[in-house]
Amino acid sequence: MSIPEAAAAPARTGTPAPAEPAAGPPGRFGSLGPVGLVLAGGISVQFGGALAVSLMPRAGALGVVALRLLVAAVVLLVVCRPRLRGHSRTDWGTVVVFGITMAAMNGLFYQSVARIPLGPAVTLEVLGPLALSVFSSRRALNLVWAGLALAGVFLLGGGGFGSLDPLGVLFALGAGAMWAAYIVFSARTGRRFPQADGLALAMAVGAVLFLPLGLAESGAKLADPVTLGLGAAVALLSSVLPYTLELLALRRLPAGTFAILMSLEPAIAATAGFLILDQALSTVQALAIALVIAASMGAVRTQVGRGRRRGRKAAPRVRDAA
């Protein structure tokens, strides 16, 4: 799987990774429209994450995840109305693994943000897809991006993560590993199910798996009307709304450009943490986040450039064959 395709899969929205779409004719405002949609989706995801952190004292981390997955699954099942018949055993196996991966990614990430600030958590999480990008490409330049990311992580941890809760760091790194796996199975699900049917079914799988955990942690607290309302808001902000915005954007935006925009998520998360949760970053932490963002963007641009060169080399052979 190419890295633009992989990196373009949204983090927490559950959008199946698309093949790189044609940019299409420029609209009245050029590319401002789809770029604005992607940025709006990223803002929605991260501010939804900040709202989830503020909800955790009421419902617990597992309870928030359960509410988010449950509400998002209900909305997507109602909107998509996926067909249940006519799928092979491999199709169902793929969507079940996708759902498990999605649930694990969300669960680990929310356990992380319950212990460390939102900005550093997202920065550590983004190392998962960055590692996938670097390892999938065999270009030497990607070693530079990997080194830049490691430098950012070193700074983020203050030279040893003494300033961050070690368990929170491990949860964030685990969420990043699940994010990388999520990208792979998102692409496979997108190829096997039409439109967003696979996403809706996978979200339902994740909700079924996590609901017992949420009930075990929070019990009757999840039935509180205020908690339910805030949980629904988290689901809409973190799943339903960004999924819709990004799906619209990808109809007109190349996947490589989309992936670069997604690399800005740590910065958006840090802003959301500061505005909603009063989580201020030190100068060193801000520099660390900037290094990881630069590494992520560099890795995506390297892979996009490689894909374009391959396309130009292949074009004469196609014309000759014709």
pLDDT value of position 158: 57
The percentage of residues in the chain with a pLDDT greater than 70, rounded to a whole number, is 73
Instruction: Say yes or no to pLDDT of 169 above 50.
Output: yes
Closest alpha carbon to 239 in 199, 270, 266: 199
Q: Decide: 100 and 205 in contact? Cβ < 8 Å.
A: yes
Q: Decide: 113 and 270 in contact? Cβ < 8 Å.
A: no
CA distance 303 to 296: 11
The residue count for the chain: 322
DSSP notation for 202-229: HHHHHHHHHHHHHHHHHGGGGG-HHHHH
Tokens of 100: 């498990």
pLDDT value of position 310: 56
For the segment 120-157, what is each residue's pLDDT rounded down to a tens digit?
888 888 888 777 767 766 666 767 777 777 777 777 66
For the segment 50-92, what is each residue's pLDDT rounded down to a tens digit?
899 889 998 899 999 999 999 999 999 998 899 888 889 999 9
pLDDT value of position 8: 37
The percentage of residues in the chain with a pLDDT greater than 90, rounded to a whole number, is 26
Closest alpha carbon to 137 in 315, 305, 312: 305
Instruction: Say yes or no to pLDDT of 94 above 50.
Output: yes
pLDDT value of position 25: 42
Phi, psi of 155 (to 5 degrees): -65, -40
pLDDT value of position 180: 85
- Looking at every residue in the chain, the average pLDDT score rounds to 77
Residue with tokens 């670097």: 134
pLDDT value of position 254: 67
Handedness of CA 242, 244, 248, 254 (dihedral sign): positive
For the segment 11-48, what is each residue's pLDDT rounded down to a tens digit?
443 333 443 344 444 443 344 477 788 788 888 988 99
pLDDT value of position 118: 85
